[in-house]
Structures are given as structure tokens and as C-alpha cells.
Amino acid sequence: MSDAFSTLLRGNSADFINLLNAARFVAITDATVLILGESGTGKELLARAMHQHSQRAHQPLITVNCAAIPENLAESELFGHRKGAFTGATEHQPGRIQAADQGTVFLDEIGELPLSIQAKLLRFLETGECQVIGQNTTTKVNTRLIAATHRDLYADMQSGVFRQDLYYRLNIVPLELPPLRQRVEDIELLLSQFTQQFTAQHHLPAPTFSGATLKILRHYSWQGNVRELRNFCERMVIFHSGKLIEPTHLPREFNQSLAAASVKFVLPDAGIHLETVEQQLMQQALEKTKGNRSQAARLLGLTRDALSYRMKKFSGSSMS
Ligand SMILES: Nc1ncnc2c1ncn2[C@@H]1O[C@H](COP(=O)(O)OP(=O)(O)OP(=O)(O)O)[C@@H](O)[C@H]1O
Ligand SMILES: [Mg+2]
């Protein structure tokens, strides 16, 4: 099936496919959506795909980066102002929510929205009404909201920087993009896509990645997620076009991963009991990561599912 999702967002891992399917389902409704995920996981791309897949596709998609507007301008940016409403308001200015009428407004980094504006946003979500600054009457609009954040909004709500009522109103349909390190299967797919793309763009012969290099890339933590992988591919295409990329060609940040991939265990003459060693290593990985299964799995070079499966295998013994 080829649609906005499959053309914009690449990935074959089960978690990712499930997320896209949920997003397809919600896209065609007018429901407010909250997209969550670490930096570089594709939140903005997902918002765009959802708009393109919706009935509103031919209407505007207007993006507002809440982190980039100063607090004193945020209200006017979202809801607009009348001429003379405040010093400096020399012209009538429509707000972005109104400008996106019939279409979609994408509020990126919604966790950065000042508390003072959050109540107004909630009111818009509940009534569809916008209050232009300096105007007594409200204006009704038909704008769909998609919001995104890399922050832990639940924690922000608990610490009082994000309104509880707005949090629950936004959280009706949360869509969480998994970090790249949790979808190891997608690393190679994206690697080959981006490498092809940059090879064509820069008119250079493609580099190839050795098996040892691929192993390191699979172990690497990719804190910057897909964006980091994309930038990495461009760098490799430019500096190593037409060559076989070996671990020694990798940038410094891959060193730790390189060490992990090249660790050599020496089998004692007396032999070992493999299952006991496996169990002990899993126990240590879970202790090191305070029980976080995804992080523990990464330390062991496993997917989270594979670790859970092995833990189940040992359940009943000392594994928790
Ligand atoms: N699944 C994917 N397939 C192809 N490209 C992707 C995918 N996910 C992300 N990208 C690319 O990675 C980069 C980062 O994506 P995007 O800007 O959507 O991330 P983000 O989650 O909004 O990041 P941030 O929190 O830093 O704003 C973009 O170049 C985007 O095109
Ligand atoms: Mg973004």
C-alpha cells in the first residue's frame, strides 16, 4: 500500500508498523493527536503524513514551533490581535489557528507553551473558539490540532509546568514514535535508503558497509535517532564514496560501540555452563540499567523482545 505514510516514513519493524497503522486510523478523523518521541524520531514527518492522509489534505497545514516564540508573543501568534490591542500592534494580525481554518495546525514542542496560553488553547480545543487579543467576541474555527513534544509531558504536568486539564485533553490519542535503538531492524533499511539518496544527490559512487561495521551500527545507541543516522549517511557518502567502510573509518562517537562489538570471551579449559552465563549476564545488564529492559537489551546486543523471551525462558529460576 502506498500512501503518505509509506512514502514519507520508512521502517519495517513491528513497533513502527503498528504505530503507522494506528496513525492511519486516527488521521482520517478530526481527533486531536499528541505525537511523542525522542528528538529525531520523525514527529514532524508523522504530523505531515497525518495531515496528507486526512480529509483536510488540500487545506493548509500550518506549523508553529512553540519553543521558538517569545512568551509575550505566543498568544498573538496563536490567536491573533486587533490593531491597537497593545503597544506595537500596528496592524490587524490573524492567529495561526485561524489561518489553518478547515486545515490542520501543528503545534511542535507543545511542552514549551507558556502556562499563560495553555488555558486559551484548552478553550479552543473544547469549544472551537478563538479569542483574538483586543476583540470582545470570539471567532469559531474548524481547525484540527496535531501537537508534538520530545518532553515527558506527564512529568511536566506533575511538576506544575503543564496544565493537567490540557494534558488530559491532548492525551486522548497519543502516538509514540519508538527510538531507533529499539528498532534495530530499521537501522539497515534506513542506512541503505539514505546512502542511496545521498549518492544520487551528490553524484558520487555509493560506499558499502562491512559486516563488522554493520554490527557496530546495530549496537550504537543513536541518541539523535533517524536524524543522526541520516547525517551519518551523508558524511559517509561524502568521505568514503565508492569504498568499503570498515570500523576504523567510523567517527569517534562509535568507539564505545566498537569496543562492545569486539569483546572476546575466553572459554576456560574446564568449560562453562552456557545457560548460567547467559542468565548472569542478563541479570547484570538489568542491574546496570535499573531494570530498564530496553536499555538492558541494548547492552546485550538483543532486541527488547528477544530479552523478554529469554527472561521468560529462565523464569522460575533467579531471574526477575
Ligand atoms: N521513518 C523515517 N523515514 C525516513 N526519514 C525519517 C524517518 N524518521 C525521521 N526521518 C528523517 O529524520 C529527520 C528528523 O525527523 P523529524 O524532524 O520529523 O524528527 P522530530 O522527531 O520532529 O525531531 P525533533 O524532536 O528534533 O524536532 C528528518 O530529516 C526526517 O526526514
Ligand atoms: Mg520536530
> 139 and 55: one domain?
yes
The whole-model pTM stands at 0.83
When pLDDT is cut at 50, 70 and 90, the band that residue 187 belongs to is: very high
Q: What is the pLDDT of residues 204-224, one digit of tens each?
A: 999 999 999 998 999 899 999
Higher model confidence: residue 253 or residue 142? 142
Contact 91, 50 (CB under 8 A): no
CATH of residue 74's domain is: 3.40.50.300
Q: Where among 159, 176, 193 does a domain terminate? A: 176
> 32 and 117: one domain?
yes
> 80 and 205: one domain?
no
201: containing domain: 181-261
Contact 3, 24 (CB under 8 A): yes
pLDDT at position 318 over 60: no
> 52 and 144: one domain?
yes
Residue 319 lies in a domain: no
Q: Where among 123, 141, 176 does a domain terminate? A: 176
Residue 217 lies in a domain: yes
Atom number, ligand 1, closest to the C-alpha of residue 42: 18
| Distances 309 to 11, 261, 293, 313 between C-alpha atoms, Å | 23, 22, 11, 6
| Distances 271 to 212, 274, 280, 284 between C-alpha atoms, Å | 27, 9, 16, 21
Task: Determine whether the shortest distance from the Cβ of 39 to ligand 1 is under 6 A.
Answer: yes
Expressed in angstroms, the distance from the first to the final Cα of the chain is 42
CA 146 to centroid of ligand 2, rounded, Å? 12
Q: Whose CA is nearest to atom 2 of ligand 1?
A: 9
CA distance linking residue 142 with residue 119, whole number of Å: 19
Q: What is the pLDDT of residues 9-34, one digit of tens each?
A: 999 999 999 999 999 999 999 999 99
Task: Determine whether the shortest distance from the Cβ of 225 to ligand 1 is under 6 A.
Answer: no
pLDDT at position 292 over 60: yes
> 20 and 161: one domain?
yes
Give residues whose Cβ lies within 5 Å of ion ligand 2. 43-44
When pLDDT is cut at 50, 70 and 90, the band that residue 319 belongs to is: low
Task: Give the ligand at the shortest distance from the Cα of 38.
Answer: 1
Task: Determine whether the shortest distance from the Cβ of 45 to ligand 1 is under 6 A.
Answer: yes
| 7-11 contacts, C-beta under 8 A, 24 or more apart | 8/45, 8/48, 8/49, 8/52, 9/42, 9/45, 9/46, 9/49, 10/186, 10/189, 10/190, 10/193, 11/183, 11/186, 11/189, 11/190
Residue 203 lies in a domain: yes
Contact 97, 147 (CB under 8 A): no
Type of residue at 317: S
What is residue 259's predicted lDDT score, i.e. its pLDDT? Answer: 67
Q: What is the pLDDT of residues 81-101, one digit of tens each?
A: 988 888 888 888 899 999 999
Task: Give the ligand at the shortest distance from the Cα of 10.
Answer: 1
What is residue 7's predicted lDDT score, i.e. its pLDDT? Answer: 93
Q: Where among 176, 211, 237 does a domain terminate? A: 176
> 140 and 240: one domain?
no
When pLDDT is cut at 50, 70 and 90, the band that residue 114 belongs to is: very high
Residue 167 lies in a domain: yes
> 220 and 257: one domain?
yes
Ligand 1 pocket test target in 41, 61, 232 with most atoms within 8 Å of CB: 41
> 169 and 141: one domain?
yes
The structural domain count of the chain equals: 3
What is residue 154's predicted lDDT score, i.e. its pLDDT? Answer: 94
> 131 and 39: one domain?
yes
